[in-house]
Structure 1
Amino acid sequence: MKKSLGASLAVGMAGLQFLAILLVVFSSYVTSERALIRHARDLLRDVGINTIEHSKGFLSPAQGAAELAAQLAQNRVIASHDTPVLEQLLFQQLKMAPQFAGLYYGREDGTFVMVMRSPDGRAEYRSKIISIENGKRRVELIWRDATFAEVGRQLDPTDTYDPRDRPWYVKACKERRTIWTDPYIFFSSQQPGITLAAPVLHENGRVRGAVGVDIEISMISEFLSRLNIGQHGRALIINHNGDVIAHPDASLIKTRSADGTLRFADIRELGDPIARAAFGPLALAGALPVQQETPSQFDYQGASYVSTIMPVISDKLPWTIAVYAPENDFTGVLKKNRTLNIWLAVLVAGLTGLIGLALADYIHRPVRAFAVRTALISQGELDPDAPLPRTYKELGRANDALVQQIVARRKTEREYGQTFNMSSRGMAQIQPDSGRFIRVNARICEMTGYSARDLTQMRLRDLFHPDDPTFVGAIFNTDDSDFAVNREIRCIRKDGSTIWITLNEILIRDEHGKPLHAVLTMDDITQNKRAETQILQLNRDLSHLARGKTMSQMAAGLAHELNQPLTAIAQNADTALLILNEQPDGPPPALHDLRTILAEIEGQSLRAGEIIRALRGFISKDEGGSTALDLAPLIEQTLRLVQAEATEARVGLQTLLDPDLPPVRGNRVQVAQVIVNLLRNAIEALAPDPAADRRVILRAARDGGMVRIAVEDTGPGIAPGINLFSQFETTKSDGMGLGLSICRSIVEANGGTLWHETLPGRGSRFLFTLPVHAHG
């Protein structure tokens, strides 16, 4: 694409101004944004530390109360066995600690004292006392007001609670130290909480019982909801197992299990999608809790967020504080200011561009006049010797050089154009990338039948015969500077006829090696191709005649040579049979098999002589006589001839003959020869094939006025591209290509047809027909 000097000057001046302003704006924005992001991360870290300290401060009184109660009971400062006194002590501690949900003491004998905030609203507090007297268990519920006055009392015989089975009791007694349980949802209040327990020991170290404190931690969620983290930031607390135990929206942390009980929601199923996106992948990868403070950035629905994950609060409280906030809460104002500055930069650049355009027009005016003069000279509308208008000295020197180049180019183009148009060979220029014609001469139009206008709308490959490979276009982009094409190919003329051409093509490049166009020449060689084809056909015909004569001579010699030993075999077998039959009492029983064998030898020798005579007669154009044939015994005899070959090749032979098969009319020996040849072809096709199913099936059935005989095999089939019935074409390495051709000729001479069918899957089927013998 050509660029205007004036526009380039104007755009360049305005662009430099614009880029300078943008550089200042963006550098200021980047530094300010980084500072704000660092500030945001510091803020998130401070929120995490504040949440940790608040959680510790919230839970520390519980630990002190539990340990104090355990020490008082252990040192007998209070009578831990005195239930009324113990109940009153627990009541006073519960009343002083608003975050406590309940305090209780379980003894080693299964007795239990618990004071909790009443969940049913009947009174402010409720006590549960389990006592055992004379082996009988008694559970009593007592409701009290804020002054410890009794409001109500009732027995609960259905209660089966045993403190010794509870996890807090078992863990505290086992570890013999103050322990914290994992947070869970309290059954009575349906609020999130945690239990702290401490053991009470005898002087000898044996466990006397355990003191427990239930602490509702919903107040931590309330604390998180009051935190200001930007405008939309949030903090949450995640337990070491991935449960979210505190969130600004307390309703999100509870969910129901499959059995209907309440439990904490896992971070990966939390109803806060931003928190899931921020911290869910870490939980899925098993990276929670973290060992050190871990800041990060992430995107959610096109918005960018910053987040921080703090290490666990302590070994006793393996909770992780996680905080996130949108970056826009900290950098939004900065981005708005950046947008305003960009618009100011655009305005300044536009004003300076207008000024630059006027200045560029003044500078560019002589250049424009020079360009107009050059175009007129190039088009021949202005004499190169015409006086040059006032311009720059550099343009004057350029004008002199340009005029010389134009004159030389015109001379070259005129000479090339005359050669191109008057050439006796077809010539054309084509585009290197698409193969489209750019320019053609009259000879190409004459050869193809298209006009020059038609060809300039076409590509070179559009002329090629569809069966010939397309090679022009893609290979023109080769880096080989000596690229050329020289080949023979078929073309389709406009009238649909096909011609042969020789195509010579070279690629023209510029000084940088980039392809400019391809120059090709074409010559019509259709007459030469026809002459070559005729000569080739004549050579084939001569070769065929020579082979036919050789075969006739070979067949005649073989028949002459073989008839004498076959006649001797037949006569000897007949003489042996005569000797056996002249025995006065007939041949002995032991020689019956010998008699059968001699009869078979005589019959087969006679039949061999008939086959040789028939083959000799066929080669010598002697059609022989046609008679009525019974196919069933003929097929049986042919199977005997190929049985040895089939056994050696491990091929099974099978016949499927119509029981009502009518007699056919034909030459018995010739029909037998066709069947033998087809069977041997099938056996030879299966011999090298490793298939487990190696079978040849011979079928015969009536088909109207014809009998159809089929030979099927389970071999690999016929390769595509083989013309099976052409003379001297064969798929065998040692074959002559005459078998199927002779078989087709024999079948047709006997009034039938021979053809091939491909079976689905594997195998081939050869079929031929013979006419049914007409009685008359």
Structure 2
Amino acid sequence: MKISLGMVLALCLAGLQFVAVTFVVFSSFLTSEKVLLAHARDLLRDVGTNTIEHSKGFLKPARGAAELATRLAENEVIASDNFEQLEKLLFQQLQISPQFAGVFYGDETGNFVYVMRSDGPGPFRSKIVMWEDGQRTTDLIWRDDRYAIVEERADPTDTYDPRERLWYQTASEKLTSIWTDPYIFFTSQKPGITAASPVFDPFGGIRGVVGVDIGIDAISEFLSRLNVGDSGKALILNRNGDVIAHPNQELIRTQNTDGTFRFVNIAEIGDPVARAAFGHLDSTAEVSVEREVSSRFGLGDSTFVSTLMPVISEELPWTIAVYAPEADFTGEIKANRSQNVWIAASIALISGIFGLVLANYIHKPVRAFAVRSSLVSQGEVSASEPLPKTYRELERANETLVQAIAERKKSEAEFGRTFDLASRGMAQIQAKTGKLMRVNTKFADMLGYTNDEVLQLTAHDISHPDDPVAAFFFEDGGNTGSEYLHEKRLLRKDRSVIWVSENVIVIRDDAGNPLHAVVTVDDITERKASERKIQQLSWDLSHSARVNVMGQMATSLAHELNQPLLAITQNMDSALFNLQQSTCDIEELKTILQETDRQAHRAGDIIKALRGFVKKDGVEKAEFDFQELLEQTLQLVRSEAKEHGIHISTDAVDLDPVYGSRVQIAQVLVNLLRNAIEAIADSDVEERLVKLKAMNTDNGLMVDVLDTGPGFDPTSDLFEQFETTKEDGMGLGLSICRTIVESHGGKLWYQEDENGNSRFCFTLPALIPKSVPEIQNELSA
């Protein structure tokens, strides 16, 4: 749909107003947004700093735990086997250190004493694993603040072994006090870290390991109380990418296949925002941030800001990560921006209405000019009529336009007269669809239609179904040609067939797309009939010539052989008579036999000469292009094939040259092709096809002629002289063909393909370069 000039002016005026107001609104928004985002990053930095300071508070009890573990390792009670005293000692240490979650000791035999805080039935719980005589026992004891037993029971299902725990293995290996990375405690299933020290026997060997558990779940509780915007969160990552603290403690742990628990990695945490913001850290060997890193990212329809703080310290290799939705800081200004956009749209609408009124006033003379130009073009108004009041530029344009319209109408009138009065059939055909848009009377009469009837048809409707429609009419329009000249058949209204010579001129636009075609046709039906009669006469003469030649050969054979045979007969009678006499003259008998021998040789020479004529001995041989010969041969038989509705397909590319008699090889090709055509023409098979295939082989050239005719009687000898399957055949064609092929050093044979179709094949040996003397010697041989 095209827009008028007035509408364009109105839209331009309103659009300028809208763009100006929107520019002011967005520039203000971007400035405010930049300030608020900077404020958001400062807020996230403050949250991270606060979390770092709070986390450092856990460093002091961790150091105290390491010192306690060392002091306990030096205690004589730990070094003894009195586990009752050991339990009491650990109970006292846990009471005086409220920040500890538990104190424990494990030895090399698997014995284990663990005192921890409990939620009931007593405030403290002891777990004692003892091995005696190869038997393991596990006792659970709950005590009150005065060390009195509240409840006691055995746990036969417990399989805990301190020697398999990381804290035990690390302390035993390093032989010094250690504290572990955060992990999930086996007993309480809460997050924490462990400080442990080895206990040595008098000989310096490892006796066991004593340790202290410090819970860090209070950090997650602290994070849950932080206000990071409206819905932001802070979390803590260990150097291996594990999430050790999160406002939702349920998200930071997951169960292993053996029933134990571990921290989730940042790449698998159930917080999708945290995973999107910091999940890339899992791809590194160690999470270590040397300086503060701020970023902005999108998730779904929301945008978030995030900050990564540097590692707290060497002793606490933890990284604080904070994120918050950007909308928490810029939501109000975005809402204000939407309001301002609506205000700008309202101003633009008012400006557009005013501009439309103004544009209508400006456009009125232009519209009057356009209406007048249209009327002039249609011939409803004379070009000499005065112009309506308009602009000076339009007056000059009018003069040029009127002149162009007059020239165009003159050209159209001349073309119309030429089109209608032409002595040849003419039609204008629409692109792609092939619909007849305009025809002259000659074209309609040629097909037996009236002008109105033929305009209801397409090029496909009037074309013979076996003849292709010009590529211009194909729906894909892929052919880029502009002119076609070919002969084809058209269907008249009574469904009779006429032959026409069709000249198609394609009219295209500037982009090369077809618009329509002008088609000129001449009726050549009579010429085609004359050509067929001449061709039939040529075939009859050719056949008559072949019969005449064979008759002459038979007459010559009888005449030439009659004299020597008669002489032989008379000589033999004389010899017999001489032998019957009582006095046989040996010399006379010898003379008779010698004369008989001479006459016999004479007859043999006659037959040899006749055979040499049939074999065409002495025909000049030379190197020639077989592919060129093949194409010329097809020209000789293609019209005969088309007359019978037979299609000849060829498959011959890059063929090697051949040495031999070009005429004789052509005779073989023509004979085989005509035999194939005649076999199909005399039958009623549905598929009417002859396939000619030629290809290079290791030994020379192989030619294959296949037809879809009815085939041959398997009992007949096709290559026997005077053996034929045709009513008027002489049975010499295939025999002569085999003789020619074999004289060239090749082979001719017949076989059926997998579908039962007849297939004649012959080979020609590879070209052997020969000198002129060699060729002359061969010709004279």
Q: Normalised by the size of structure 1, how large is the TM-score?
A: 0.63
Aligned-pair distance for 1:348?
0.8
> Following TM superposition, by how much is the alpha carbon of 1:350 offset from its aligned partner in structure 2, in angstroms?
0.9
Structure 1 residues 53 and 89: CA distance shift in structure 2, 3 A: farther
Query: Closer, same or farther in 2 for the Cα pair 1:179/1:375, shift >3 Å?
Result: same
The reply on whether 1:742 has 2:724 as its aligned counterpart is: yes
Query: For the Cα contact (< 8 Å) 1:476–1:507, is it kept in 2?
Result: no
Alignment deviations for residues 283-324 of structure 1 (CA, whole Å, 9 cap, x no partner): 4x5677465666555554444444555666566666555544
CA 1:435–1:68 in structure 2 vs 1: closer, same or farther (change >3 Å)? same
The alpha-carbon deviation at position 171 of structure 1 amounts to 0.8
Q: Does 1:6 align with 2:6?
A: yes
Residue deviations 1:697-726 (CA, integer Å, cap 9, x gap): xxxxxxxxxxxxxxxxxxx99987654659
Q: CA deviation at 1:123?
A: 0.9
Partner deviation per Cα, 1:650-707 (whole Å, 9 max, x = no partner): xxxxxxxxxxxxxxxxxxxxxxxxxxxxxxxxxxx9xx999xxxxxxxxxxxxxxxxx
Query: Displacement, 1:21?
Result: 2.0
Amino acid at match of 1:11: L
Note the 1:50-449 alignment, pairs <5 A. Answer: 50-58=50-58, 60-73=59-72, 81=80, 87=87, 90-95=90-95, 98=98, 100-107=100-107, 112-118=112-118, 121-128=120-127, 142-151=141-150, 163-200=162-199, 207=206, 209-238=208-237, 243-265=242-264, 270-276=269-275, 283=282, 289=287, 298-308=297-307, 321-432=320-431, 435-449=434-448
Q: 1:263 to 1:464 in 2, by over 3 A?
A: farther
Give the match for residue 16 of structure 1. Answer: 16
**Higher alpha-carbon deviation: 202-211 or 216-225:** 202-211
CA apart distance, 1:138:
8.0
Report the CA distance between 1:176 and its aligned residue. 3.1
Greater shift, 490-499 or 390-399, is seen at 490-499
Instruction: Give the whole-Å Cα distance in 2 for the aligned partners of 1:356 and 1:177.
Output: 88
**In the TM superposition, what are the counterparts of 1:257-656 in structure 2 within 5 Å?**
257-265=256-264, 270-276=269-275, 283=282, 289=287, 298-308=297-307, 321-432=320-431, 435-449=434-448, 452=451, 460=459, 463-467=462-466, 468=468, 470-472=470-472, 483-508=482-507, 517-547=516-546
The one-letter code matched in structure 2 to 1:376 is L
Give, in angstroms, the shift of residue 460 of structure 1: 4.1
Report the AA paired with residue 395 of structure 1: L
Gaps of 5+ in 2: 562-692, 732-749, 760-781
Q: Judge conservation of contact 1:460–1:472 (CA < 8 Å) in 2.
A: no
Cα–Cα, structure 1 residues 79 and 372, in superposed 2: closer, same or farther, change >3 Å? Answer: closer
- Answer with 414-423 or 224-233: which moved more: 224-233
Q: Do the aligned residues in 1 keep the contact of 2:70 with 2:197 (CA within 8 Å)?
A: no
Alignment partners' CA distance in 2, 1:213 and 1:740: 118
State the secondary structure of the residue aligned to 2:104: strand
Q: Distance in 2 between matches of 1:183 and 1:551?
A: 114
Q: Number of residue pairs matched?
A: 598
- Gap change, CA 1:520 and 1:181, over 3 Å in 2: farther
**Residues 397 and 38 (structure 1), Cα distance of their counterparts in 2 relative to 1, 3 Å cut:** same
Separation in 2 of the partners of 1:338 and 1:737? 99
* Contact kept? 2:435, 2:457, Cα under 8 Å: yes
Separation in 1, partners of 2:34, 2:706: 72
Residue 574 (structure 2) aligns with: none
- Alignment CA distance shift 1:140-1:483 (3 Å): closer
**Cα–Cα, structure 1 residues 446 and 332, in superposed 2: closer, same or farther, change >3 Å?**
farther
Across the aligned residues of Structure 1 and Structure 2, the Cα RMSD in angstroms comes to: 5.0
1:305–1:325 Cα contact (<8 Å) kept: yes
Q: Which has the larger displacement, 331-340 or 459-468?
A: 459-468
Q: In structure 2, do the counterparts of structure 1 residues 127 and 24 end up closer, same or farther at CA, with 3 Å as the change threshold?
A: same
CA displacement at 1:202 relative to structure 2: 7.7
SS of match in other structure, 2:488: strand
Q: Is the 8 A contact 2:232 2:325 kept in 1?
A: yes
1:354 corresponds to which letter in structure 2? I
Q: Is the 8 A contact 1:65 1:93 kept in 2?
A: no
Q: Which residue number corresponds to residue 709 of structure 1?
A: none
Could you tell me how far 1:391 is from its partner in structure 2?
Answer: 2.3
Deviation at 1:17, TM superposition (A): 1.2
Q: CA deviation at 1:102?
A: 1.0
Q: 1:561 to 1:40 in 2, by over 3 A?
A: farther
C-alpha distance in 2 between matches for 1:741 and 1:328: 101
Q: Distance in 1 between matches of 2:61 and 2:504?
A: 97
Name the counterpart of 1:671.
Answer: none
- Aligned residues of 2:304 and 2:324 also touching (Cα < 8 A): yes
Contact 1:436 1:459 in 2 (8 A): yes
Whichever residue aligns with residue 337 of structure 1, its letter is N
Structure 1 unmatched ranges of 5 or more: 563-684, 691-715, 728-734, 750-755, 768-776
Deviation at 1:174, TM superposition (A): 0.7
Task: Classify the secondary structure of the residue corresponding to 1:143.
Answer: strand
Q: For the structure 1 residues 219 and 554, does the alpha-carbon distance in structure 2 shift closer, same or farther, using more than 3 Å as the test? A: farther
Give 1:113 deviation, angstroms. 4.0
Q: Distance in 2 between matches of 1:360 and 1:107?
A: 98
The verdict on how the C-alpha distance between 1:485 and 1:142 changes in structure 2, with shifts beyond 3 A counting, is same
| 1:509 CA drift (Å) | 5.5
* Aligned residue identity for 1:228: N
Output the CA distance in 1 between the equivalents of 2:453 and 2:281.
Answer: 69
Q: Find the residue that maps to 2:187 and give its secondary structure.
A: coil
